[in-house]
């Protein structure tokens, strides 16, 4: 599978404005158990710097933009999340970092599981060791 799995969400707009729906099994390829959003990120601050062991996620900037780096241990790729119709899948065992948040950025993430700190690998050397074994 390609490292960058882009998801294009249908725009359900009309003359009143725009609407995007994220539904399990349709726009989002797993059952959604959790939704969180990151906003008000200070200028120059980067986030992420971890991989998940099992968690599946889809991220989309519903406002503004940020740059996401994905790294599967052998290959790295970057993309801009810069439209509310453009999502990216964050697969398990993919190191990810988010950079260059615009001041109006709201990064919405849907996740397949409840929050569980034991699912995180927050040390890059540990990640490389685990992804290679």
What is the footprint of ligand T46 within residues 42-71 (CB under 6 A)?
Answer: 47-48, 57, 59
Q: If we measure between CA atoms, which residue out of 10, 6, 21, 28 comes closest to residue 88?
A: 6
Q: If we measure between CA atoms, which residue out of 18, 127, 8, 124 comes closest to residue 58?
A: 8
**Member of 4, 22, 32, 38 binding ligand T46 (CB under 6 A):** 38
Report the distance separating Cα 26 and Cα 1, nearest Å: 19
Q: If we measure between CA atoms, which residue out of 69, 57, 51 comes closest to residue 114?
A: 57
Q: Does 99 bind ligand T46 (CB under 6 A)?
A: no
Is 50 catalytic? The answer is: yes
Residues that bind ligand T46 (rule: CB under 6 A) add up to a total of: 10
What is the footprint of ligand T46 within residues 1-30 (CB under 6 A)?
Answer: none
Token look-up 């990640």 returns: 127
Rule CB under 6 A: which residues touch ligand T46? 34, 36, 38, 47-48, 57, 59, 90, 109, 115
Catalytic residues: 50
């Amino acid at each position: 599978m390609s490292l960058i799995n882009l998801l294009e969400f249908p725009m359900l707009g009309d003359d009143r404005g725009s609407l995007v729906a994220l539904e399990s099994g349709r726009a989002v390829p797993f059952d959604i158990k959790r939704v969180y959003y990151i906003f008000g990120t200070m200028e120059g601050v980067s986030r992420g710097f971890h991989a998940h062991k099992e968690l599946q996620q889809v991220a989309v900037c519903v406002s503004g933009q940020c740059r996401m780096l994905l790294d599967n241990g052998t290959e790295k790729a970057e993309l801009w999340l810069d439209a509310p119709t453009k999502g990216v899948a964050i697969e398990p065992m993919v190191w990810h970092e988010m950079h260059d948040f615009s001041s109006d950025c709201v990064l919405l993430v849907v996740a397949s599981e409840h929050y569980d700190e034991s699912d995180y690998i927050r040390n890059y050397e540990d990640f490389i060791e685990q992804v290679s074994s």
